[in-house]
Amino acid sequence: MIEELADLVGAGGVCVLEGAGMSTGSGIPDYRGPNGSLQRHTPMTYQEFTGSAENRRRYWGRSHVGWEHFRRAQPNDAHRAVAALERAGLLTGVITQNVDGLDLAAGTREVVELHGNLDRVVCLHCGEVTDRAELADRLTAANPGFTARVEEFQALNPDGDADLTDAQLQGFTTVPCRRCGQDALKADVVFFGETVPKDRVARCFALLDSSRSLLVLGSSLAVMSGYRFVLHAAKHDQPVAVVTAGPTRGDEKATVRLDAPLQDVLPDLRQRLGV
């Protein structure tokens, strides 16, 4: 199967769709793998976040700790392989469902961050977008007695927060938007239950339509947010390759299917293609 994958990618014109499996090699867990966070963690929904100041406090306390891990994460061999394939002119671009920014850090230029990026914060009241590192400094200053640290949490989640108990979160306080003063700051990522901006989805479809094939990397395709691109490619007779450890929702649509870790497959593919 690796030979078939090399033939497909070597022909060029490949649109890549990435899932959380791309970043497990960087110490960021996935949602649905063997040790996926959904087995022990239910992500906060957009409705829960916007509906309660207490929920926002809990989210930001957990996310403040998780952010310390995310900001130190580095691209792995899978990210570097994708960047090399792009430099070789074989990719039209990357659609990533991840919010860690590691594709850009690896040097990939054409990246559509379908679900946003944890590096940014947006105010839901006035719309101001600010840097996450700045908010981290403000939260640290506002919570001098907050002692929870990365080493103490039970687990990290792909949405950027850490599993903390109510006792560990006791006393944590949020900070308001610096522009409007409202308690309306949100990580600039798409929460569960939230809709991906239409212009971003349109950009993804345009990228796919300009491509010869679709390569899915590290995604179970369990949610329609990513699976729709597989359906679109199959409908338009574009070959679909899926490289993910474990079963995926798109297996029946795949022209090429490899059930294997990306950390093994992508460096091998890179070597076979001489990039």
Residues carrying an active site annotation: 115
Q: Distance between CA atoms of 273 and 88, rounded to whole angstroms?
A: 9
Of 98, 103, 88, 96, nearest in space to 13 by CA: 88
At 119, which helix (H) or strand (E)?
strand 116-123
Q: Exposure of 149 by Cβ count < 10 A (0-12 exposed, 13-18 middle, 19+ buried)?
A: exposed
> Pick from 201, 197, 21, 13: which is nearest to 93 by CA?
13
For CA atoms 153, 154, 156, 159, give the dihedral sign: negative
Return the closest-CA partner of residue 32 out of 229, 240, 248.
248
> How does strand 14-18 pair with strand 213-217?
parallel
Burial of 141 (0-12, 13-18, 19+ CB in 10 A): exposed
The set of residues, in sequence order, having a beta carbon less than 8 Å from that of 54 and lying 6+ positions away, is: none
Query: What whole-number distance in Å separates Cα of residue 183 and Cα of residue 158?
Result: 24
Closest CA to 264 of 4, 81, 12, 9: 81
Answer whether 113's CB lies under 8 Å from 150's CB.
no
